Amino acid sequence: MVFCTECGLEQSVGNFCARCGTPLLQNLPQKSVVEETHAFAFAVPVDTVPIKTSSKVPTDEDVRDITRALEGSTYDWMHDGENVNGWIKLEHDGIFTCSWNKSRWSARIDGNSTFIVVVENIGGCGVHELRMNPELTAFTCSHSGQRGRLRKSFPPAPSSVVAELEGTEWEWLHNGRTVNGWIKLELGGRFTCSWNKSTWSAGIEGNSTVVVVVENIGGCGVHELKMNPEMTEFTCEHSGQRGRLKQK
């Protein structure tokens, strides 16, 4: 009998191993069995790692505290998860308002940590559950892909900047290239455009960027218009929309 020098198979004398085909050598000691290794430990995908939560069981008082913190908050609504197309506001006493309708909201805590706002109806599409992040600055929605983020607040712009903007009229370029309407920043925060009337205010982002915040344009909720340094053009956070000064 001989043993294969590669796989250790015991077999009758021959020229090649019957299992692995290695040429056989006579009168060699049996090759020790290859050491078995432990199964390779694959890394657990990040999105499957359980999130560590507080061991403290939430109480009714916890729910009331967070509810009070949310009352009066306004969130931008992104129907496709990226582009702002409306707004929602969590009013006091469970009253809910948004770009499309009025309703009611309440809150609960899922597990030990996730705060969920339950709205009875948004836009005629029934109940929506808004799962808040720990900072209460953004949420994901039970309706696939819909998200929201806390409305930004800006320090008010100097009165000289507001005075310069008052009475200005702007061409509106919905696709960023072609004029398809106009907007006008009236005196006293009144706003008019090709589609509706609303209100506007001006703030400062960072150290110098002037931002005009319009409560509603064309039924699509709040728009933030970021002015260039000369205040002759603006870009809008709604994807691709732009404007340019027409007349004063």
Q: Which residue has the higher pLDDT, 26 or 47?
A: 26
Residue 80 confidence (pLDDT) above 50: yes
Do 74 and 224 meet the contact criterion of CB atoms below 8 Å apart? Answer: no
The predicted-structure confidence for 100-147, as pLDDT tens digits, reads as follows 899 999 999 987 678 999 999 998 889 999 999 989 999 999 887 899
* Last-in-domain residue among 124, 150, 176: 150
Q: 44: helix, coil or strand?
A: coil
Specify if 55 maps to a domain. no
State mean pLDDT over 65-83. 89
12 and 81 part of one domain: no
Reported as a single tens digit per residue, the pLDDT across 55-72 is 567 788 889 998 998 998
Same domain? 144 vs 173: no
Q: Write the pLDDT tens digit of every residue in 180-231.
A: 999 999 999 999 999 999 999 999 998 899 999 998 888 777 789 999 999 9
Q: Which residue has the higher pLDDT, 220 or 41?
A: 220
Answer yes or no: are the C-beta atoms of 108 and 119 closer than 8 Å: no
Q: Are residues 75 and 4 in the same domain?
A: no
Last residue of some domain: 131, 150, 169?
150
The whole-chain average pLDDT of the chain stands at 82
Domain containing residue 239? 159-247
Mean pLDDT computed over 163-188: 96
Overall average pLDDT of the 157-175 stretch: 96
- Residue 48 placed within a domain: no
d(CA 105, CA 97): 9
CA distance 24 to 2: 8
Q: Are 174 and 146 in a shared domain? A: no
Kindly state whether residue 3 falls inside one of the protein's structural domains: yes
Same structural domain, 67 and 144: yes
Co-location of 99 and 180 in the same domain:
no
Residues 176 and 224 in one domain: yes
CA gap 12, 213 in Å, rounded: 90
Same domain, residue pair 222 and 185: yes
Residue 53 within any structural domain of the chain = no
Share of residues in the chain with pLDDT > 70 (%): 76
Q: Structurally, how many domains does the chain consist of? A: 3
pLDDT tier at 54, thresholds 50, 70, 90:
very low
Q: Do the domain assignments include residue 75?
A: yes
pLDDT of 21 strictly over 90: no
Q: Is the pLDDT of residue 13 over 80?
A: no
The confidence score (pLDDT) of residue 142 equals 82
What pLDDT, on a 0 to 100 scale, did the predictor assign at position 31? 44
Residue 153, pLDDT score: 82
In a domain, 26, yes or no: yes
Cα separation of 106 and 152, whole Å? Answer: 23
Q: Both 117 and 70 in a single domain?
A: yes
Residue 128's Cβ-count burial label (10 Å; 0-12, 13-18, 19+) is buried
Residues 64 and 145 reside in one and the same domain: yes
Helix (H, G, I), strand (E, B) or coil at 14: coil
Last residue of a domain, one of 105, 128, 150: 150
Please check whether residue 54 lies inside any domain of the structure.
no
C-alpha span between 53 and 11 (Å, rounded)? 61
Burial 169-199, CB ≥16 within 10 A → b, else e: ebbbbbeeeeeeebbbbeeeeebebeeeebe
Q: Where are the alpha helices (DSSP H) in 105-204?
A: 159-165
Q: Which residue has the tokens 């507001």?
A: 162
Provide the pLDDT confidence category of residue 15 given band limits of 50, 70 and 90: low
CA–CA dist 193, 240 (Å, integer): 18
Q: In angstroms, how far apart are the furthest CA atoms of the chain?
A: 105
Same domain, 165 and 215: yes
In contact, 165 and 159? CB cutoff 8 Å: no
